[in-house]
């Protein structure tokens, strides 16, 4: 009999959306620091493989409840990919048409996944950045009377992380040390929502926020200009192109502003995109954890935190998604499609070799 056994989850699910959340916390064993223990909260275990599944179900169900979203109404949203994929999954399960606007600089597999899930994807010029795709979504919503998901402004964003992500962390570390919580930001929902809870119930846990070193919007100290509806009315002057897809659009989201104004984080650390790529590759090859550039970047910062952390510290690192979202990006540069010389030599080393 196998030493590993499973017994099921003890329940049956009425819909794919009921499987969102309760993602595992996993210890890092082979590449972790000697003086500290790093755990990762691996959001790829969500049904559409990213943390944004939580946001997607929160937006749709809150809008259903208060009547903002009507039966059969089209949903529209601007996204770099993961929110769109999550929304496509939720809308498919609930029967809502979905239109996504997305800059054409983001990975091809993301737009194909959304279309595969039934969404329509309207691409905007990369030169217009995130603000451009955002404005296109607003225009389409107004013209067609569609429901605008508003992930960057809606309170439904941080609320779901307060209600689920934070509660899962408390449960998983109940009675145990948790010295640091490390996360990046896209919309800001994770840091704002989780920090609301940790500040109250685990006040000794230091919250570390990170952003790209060449797009350090928060660190710049420059305020984001906004419209009356809290939307960005222009790009942020500190933004520059970076390879960490899903992180740090060219404006400071309103959802994130809560964490900034409330001083929810104890330190703000920059990270280079190249470091995020390097650590993502190491997590895959040496820990078997397949995460994207954003996860690699958060892990890079967690390793940096460990360098000065007290002996025995426990660090929890957010991994937002799966590495399969990045097959056409620099993350997979150098990964060959054909056999390498070493692999070909292995093939030829046994009698069964055939050309």
229 is annotated as an active-site residue: no
> Which is the catalytic residue, given 41, 50, 52, 297?
52
Catalytic residue among 58, 80, 280, 294: 294
Q: DSSP strand E in the chain: where? A: 25-27, 36-42, 75-78, 98-103, 120-124, 147-148, 180-183, 206-212, 267-271, 313-319
Q: How far apart are CA 73 and CA 239, in angstroms?
A: 35
Token couple for 276: 């995020």
Answer yes or no: 234 catalytic: no
Q: Which residue has the tokens 């449960």?
A: 171
Where is 346: in which H helix or E strand? helix 341-348
| Residue 209 main-chain phi, psi, to 5 deg | -105, 145
CA–centroid distance for 113 within its chain: 16
User: Which of 151, 154, 161 has its CA nearest to residue 54?
Assistant: 161
60, 337 in Cβ contact below 8 A? no
> How far is residue 292's CA from residue 331's CA, in Å, rounded to a whole number?
8
Q: How many residues does the chain have?
A: 355
State how far the Cα of 107 lies from the Cα of 327, in Å rounded to an integer: 8
| Angle, vertex CA 254, rays to CA 79 and CA 212, nearest 5 | 65
Residues labelled as active-site residues: 52, 294
């Amino acid at each position: 009999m196998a030493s590993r056994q499973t017994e099921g989850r003890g329940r049956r699910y009425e819909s794919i959306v009921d499987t969102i959340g309760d993602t595992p916390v996993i210890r890092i064993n082979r590449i972790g620091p000697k003086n500290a223990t790093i755990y990762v909260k691996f959001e790829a275990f969500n049904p559409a493989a990213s943390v944004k599944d939580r946001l997607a179900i929160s937006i749709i169900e809150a809008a259903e409840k208060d009547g903002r979203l009507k039966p059969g109404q089209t949903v529209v949203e601007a996204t770099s990919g993961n929110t769109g994929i999550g929304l496509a999954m939720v809308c498919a399960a609930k029967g809502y048409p979905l239109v996504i606007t997305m800059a054409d600089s983001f990975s091809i597999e993301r737009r194909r996944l959304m279309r595969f899930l039934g969404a329509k994807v309207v691409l905007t010029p990369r030169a217009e950045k995130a603000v451009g795709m955002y404005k296109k979504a607003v225009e389409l919503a107004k013209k067609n009377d569609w429901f605008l998901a508003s992930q960057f402004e809606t309170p439904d964003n941080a609320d779901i992380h307060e209600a689920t992500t934070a509660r899962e962390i408390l449960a998983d570390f109940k009675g145990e040390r948790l010295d640091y919580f490390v996360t990046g930001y896209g919309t800001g929902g994770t840091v704002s929502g989780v920090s609301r809870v940790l500040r109250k119930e685990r006040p000794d846990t230091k919250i570390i926020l990170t952003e790209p070193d060449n797009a350090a919007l928060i660190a710049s100290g420059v305020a984001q200009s906004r419209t009356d509806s809290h939307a960005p009315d222009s790009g942020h002057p500190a933004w520059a192109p970076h390879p960490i897809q899903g992180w740090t659009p060219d404006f400071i989201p309103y959802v994130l502003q809560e964490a900034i104004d409330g001083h929810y984080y104890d330190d703000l650390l920059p990270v280079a995109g190249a470091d995020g790529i390097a650590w993502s590759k190491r997590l895959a090859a040496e820990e078997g954890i397949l995460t994207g550039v954003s996860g690699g970047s958060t892990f890079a910062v967690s390793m940096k935190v460990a360098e000065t952390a007290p002996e025995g510290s426990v660090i929890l690192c957010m991994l937002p998604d799966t590495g399969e979202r990045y097959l056409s990006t620099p993350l997979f540069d150098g990964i060959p499609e054909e056999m390498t010389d070493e692999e070909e030599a292995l093939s030829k080393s046994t009698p069964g070799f055939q050309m």
